Chain A
Amino acid sequence: MTEAFRPLGGKLFTRHFQFMGVLVLIAGYFLIRRFIFGIGDVSNLSDGFPWGLWITYDVVTGTAIACGGYAMALLVYVFNRGQFHPMIRAALLTSVFGYTLAGASIVVDVGRYWQLYNVFLPQYINLNSVMLEVALCVTLYTLVLWIEFSPAILEAMKANRLLRFLRHILFFFIGVGILLPTMHQSSLGSLLLIAGYKVHDLWQTTIIPLLFLITAITMGYGIVVFESLYASVHLGRKLETPLLSKISAIIPWLLIAYLVLRIGDLFLSGQIRAIAGPGPEPYLFLAEVALFVFAIVTLMDQYHRTRPTILFWSSLAVVLGGALYRFNAFMIAFDPGPGWHYFPAVGEMSITLGIVAFEIMAYLFFVKKTPILAAGH
């Protein structure tokens, strides 16, 4: 672990960066409207669909995509695969922004944001609520992520005394930083248990916490591979293919475990019958399975794993498959009863796009100005 991390340097205000800035400005316009005229002014949320794109993408899918840091920490610090250490900061960086902006989007989504701190007040907390657990874990984990990530910032600031102190206690935060996502990623699935019949039979199951946890970890590895390839090409760096092929070797096994549990459970509960039901749901289910099967087939083959193009498409399939699973469960296959329909409004989509754009801008800023990427890779 003697590799050094270096800032990439280079011009920050590229055309790419400016384009993202425009998206952020558009989101800003709708954000102002949302806070002046209410949620109904910019969104298609309704009493039948109280949760829409904001929760489904920004929180439920966004934090799963931000599981790169969690997945890599598992690998490096629990399974002691130090060889992946060079990739940990980049993974942590996306986790930091994924979670911080998920937290920020919560402020946009909840109706009474000025009372959000009630979640931390003992007289109000409800220990029976799955939502409470998610809220506390996500908040705490966001803090822990910033602590885990702070060495990069401290190095850039040359604050060596603080850095030295931090190095000696960091292992504790690393431990907490693995526990918390294990808890809340599974609980994100548990959120749907109480919705009962509103969640389609193909997605409503008591093992949903386990399914959400496995897919979150898998998406974490998927996004690390995808992002590394994308960033290498975009920022003109050498591809990290040997490391990526090793990481992606884990993915098929996780996905096989997931599919066995998922489909086995559907057969055991008899809910597999819903596959012959009407509507688009059976096809959406098959699309999820197909994306995962594609990733399993390609990534099982050792030769394929050394081909950057195949790695790129397979890791993308993993992320999209996991995202589709979450979108289906929370939004597309969600049915509160006759008469209710939902498709995100322009304002909703603009705000979500703006958040993603802001995330990319922050990523570019940090890799260029602070030591995130390993030198010589």
Chain B
Amino acid sequence: MKIDRRQFFKVMAAGGAVAVGASPVQARPCKTLPPDAIGILYDANLCIGCKACEVACKVANDMPMSGDGAIDQAYGVQDAWDGDDDLNGRTMNKIKAYVAEGSRTDLDDPDACFIKRSCMHCIDPDCVSACPVSALTKDPFTGIVSYNPDACIGCRYCQLACPFNIPKFQYDKTFPQIVKCQLCAPRIAEGEIPACCDACPTGASLFGRVEDLRAEGHRRLAMQPGERVEFPLNQLGGKTRAAEAQKYHPHLYGETESGGTQYLMVAGVPFEQLGMPPVGDESRARLSETLQHSLYKGMVAPGLLLGGLVYAAYQHTKEDREDQEDRQNRPEQEHGDD
């Protein structure tokens, strides 16, 4: 009996360690922009849809072309044109065109517009909060949200969580990965700028510090249509080019969306029409974490509950244990086959 009891306390201690193991985490306040936050300002009014950014992105990230697009199939050639029409397991960056109803081919239509889709690098990313194994992390200084395939288990909860539907998954691969823009982190580490901004001939993709990009975005929103203005090329503080300002829809997309993003956008048409989803101004991660952490704060509630449950179970299984004692104490012949 004594051994049993000692054994029991061992089990209790181990169980307690498991229960307390998940250390207490407080419900947290809104996250703010990291100190050296960098990002991209995409200006749809400057974009000419040349897709140089897409090609540069594929080269920089060593991603394959789609290879089975309509033109390829029609002419029996390979890799003549990158035929994918959305982000996917081999595309981190995509230019899409929006053309107003009734003018399907006229890109000069005042309502026609390009839109560039890629990871928004949220200030409070839902994907980072959702990932059980920290495969997605946000750099504390640059704010780049990057992906670590060595941690990833492929549960795809990040895809479910992302309000912008950005992380993509290689459904066609035996050993798949999550694919998303990581703001060319290796290039930035070498002092370069993201490939898409580097390749953009018009300055539509503009690299810079997020705070400066926000100011630049607001400058553009305040421009008078028709006036000649200087637009920075590739990155803030570098070369510029003069162009005529077009009408802007008065909204700096990404300033508040989902708690703010480091990828900002301005355009001539409302963003709903460009297919940007209806995200609120607060990140869902904050709500989800606050709820979860108030339930499990310091594991106090589960700990107390466990104590109560074990006590109840102990009380109500007494007969079970005595039953067994009785059977053991009965004459040997009943258990002769042991």
Interface residues of A (CB under 8 A from B): 1-2, 35-41, 43, 45-48, 50-51, 76-78, 80, 82, 109-113, 115-116, 118-119, 121, 124-133, 135-136, 140, 158, 160, 163-165, 167-172, 174-176, 178-179, 182-183, 186-187, 190-191, 193-198, 206, 209, 336-338
Q: Given A169-B8, A172-B15 in contact, is the A127-B22 Cβ separation under 8 Å?
A: yes
Q: Are B153 and A119 in contact (CB under 8 A)?
A: yes
Closest to A134 in B: B132
Q: How far is the CB of B16 from chain A (nearest CB, A)?
A: 11
The residue on A at minimum CB distance from B276 is: A337
B81 contacts partner chain A, Cβ-Cβ < 8 Å? no
Of the candidate stretches B70-78, B103-111, B211-219, B315-323, the one touching chain A is B315-323
Q: How many Cβ-Cβ contacts under 8 Å join chain A to chain B?
A: 236
Task: Give the contacting residue for A193; candidates B163, B171, B287; CB below 8 A.
Answer: B287
Residue of A nearest to B87 (CB): A47
- Cβ of B317 and Cβ of A77 under 8 Å apart? yes
What residues make up the interface of B, taking CB atoms closer than 8 Å to A?
4, 7-8, 11-12, 15, 18, 22-23, 25, 87-89, 126, 128-135, 149-157, 159-161, 163, 165, 167-177, 275, 277-280, 284-285, 287-289, 291-293, 295-296, 302, 305-306, 309-317, 319-321, 323-324, 328, 335, 337-338
Contact between chains at B312 and A77 (CB < 8 Å): yes
User: Bound state CA distance, A111 and B163, in angstroms?
Assistant: 21
Identify 20 new A-B residue pairs, CB closer than 8 A, beyond the known A47-B87, A110-B154, A169-B8. A36-B174, A47-B167, A50-B156, A78-B312, A78-B313, A111-B154, A112-B177, A118-B153, A125-B132, A128-B128, A131-B130, A131-B131, A160-B335, A176-B310, A183-B302, A186-B295, A190-B292, A194-B287, A198-B160, A337-B165
B317 and A129 form a contact (CB under 8 A): no
Residues of B within 8 A of A124 (CB): 133-135, 151
Verify B317–A128 contact, CB threshold 8 A: no
B313 touches A191 (CB 8 A): no
Cβ of A158 and Cβ of B174 under 8 Å apart?
Answer: no
Partner of B134, one of A40, A126, A133: A126
Q: Is the CB of A48 within 8 A of B132?
A: no
If the complex has contacts A40-B171, A116-B153, A171-B314, are A190 and B291 also in contact, measured as CB distance less than 8 A? yes
Q: When chains A and B are docked, how far (Å) is the Cα of A212 from the Cα of B142? A: 39
